[in-house]
Amino acid sequence: MTEDALKARINRLEKDLERKEIETNEFLDKIDEQEETIMRLEALIPEESEEKKSKKKQATDSKLAIKLDAKEKKIRDLKNSMGFLRKEKVRIQQELELLKSQSSESSVIRVEDLRKKSPLNALVQELQDKVNNQRALISKLRSNNAESDKFIEKLKVKDEEIKLLNSDILKAYQKLEDLSSVSENKKGDSIGQNLIGDLQNQLNKSKREIIELKQKFSKKTRNEIKENNSSDIDGFKKELHKAKLQIKSLQEQLKKYETRKTTEIGKPQKELEGNLKMQSEMAIFLQKQLETKEGEIKTIKNEAVQIKRRYRQLENRIKLKDQKINELQIQLDNSYVQKQALPQKEDPHVEIRLKEFKSILDNLKKENIEQRLEISQLRKKV
């Protein structure tokens, strides 16, 4: 969990604490009010024997006793809820203290790790961000499956992004192997190390810019459904293309310098191998996560295709029912015309046939209404 996420969690817990304190104060005020009403009601009850009381007074006493029981129940419920709120407040305070201690410890670890981490850590962080974006996209697809065709196109784009991520992981493995071989064979000077660090920082900056541009681009594509701002999207695409070109140029500079002489000075080989092993394990873990997310995306895609097929089948059935209804309506009209044209003779067969037509027509209309309701429910699900 990053430091920003921990800060956001701490702020959220502090807001929950404030809200719970306000609720406890409100419940305490309500309890005080109920106790005052109980005191007033007890003062109204006269201290006389039941034999001397009239029927009217007995009725009022019974009403007051019922009200008193109801008020006591309310007070018990409020006290129970107040105790629950106090327990929850204590639990939230403990969780808040634990999060604060974790955030302080994580900041120290992060500073120490920054001194020891290899340049590939930024690449691993980038892959982790992409996996998180994939998770967010899957949750959005599960909650808001708005239009299946557009989502299928987006899923295709995400499949391409997954392929790119796999290629990035392979590049990370290759770079790890290159670094390990270079650390065993060559040793450079401190100037070369600084230059590599500067190039790597520029590369990480450009990658962060690409991530920000991709996020902006995804937001713009969501807003494009409502506003159709194609000019802004083209601008974002151009900026994304420029950032990609900048990354390629920086990577080429880094490769050119590494072919001459590149290595990290002052680190023993065991520490280097340990860091490389950690990076490779992290890359394997991210690749597994990507594979699982790819499977989830495929299942969502299949569900969307099935819903679309069901929707089309129902539409075809409704069209057929409408055609049958129109044909039956035409037959009914023709029968009415023939009946009016013929001399007025009572024909029981014609009347029976007309009743059958009417019942068939009513059944078809009911089926049509049910199928339209089913289609509207499917549209809400999609």
pLDDT digits (tens, 9 = 90+) for 248-299: 666 676 666 666 545 544 445 666 677 777 777 777 777 777 777 778 778 8
C-alpha distances (whole Å) from 39 to each of 34, 65, 164, 340 are: 9, 13, 75, 86
Residue 282's nearest CA partner among 168, 196, 183, 137 is 168
Tokens of 353: 């046939």
Tell me the pLDDT tens digit for each residue of 300-309.
878 778 877 8
Instruction: Name the residue among 174, 184, 173 with its Cα closest to residue 263.
Output: 184
Angle at 305 between CA 304 and CA 306, to 5 degrees: 90
pTM above 0.95, yes or no: no
Q: Of 201, 13, 178, which Cα lies nearest the Cα of 95?
A: 13
CB-based burial of residue 279 (10 Å sphere; 0-12 exposed, 13-18 middle, 19+ buried)?
buried
pLDDT digit string, tens, across residues 329-364: 777 677 667 666 655 555 566 677 777 777 777 777
Task: Please identify which residue in the block is written with the tokens 């900041």.
Answer: 107
Domain limits, the chain: 3-109, 119-296, 313-381
Burial 185-207 (b: 16+ CB within 10 A, else e): eeebeeebeebbeebbebbbebb
Give the tokens for residue 213: 């541009």
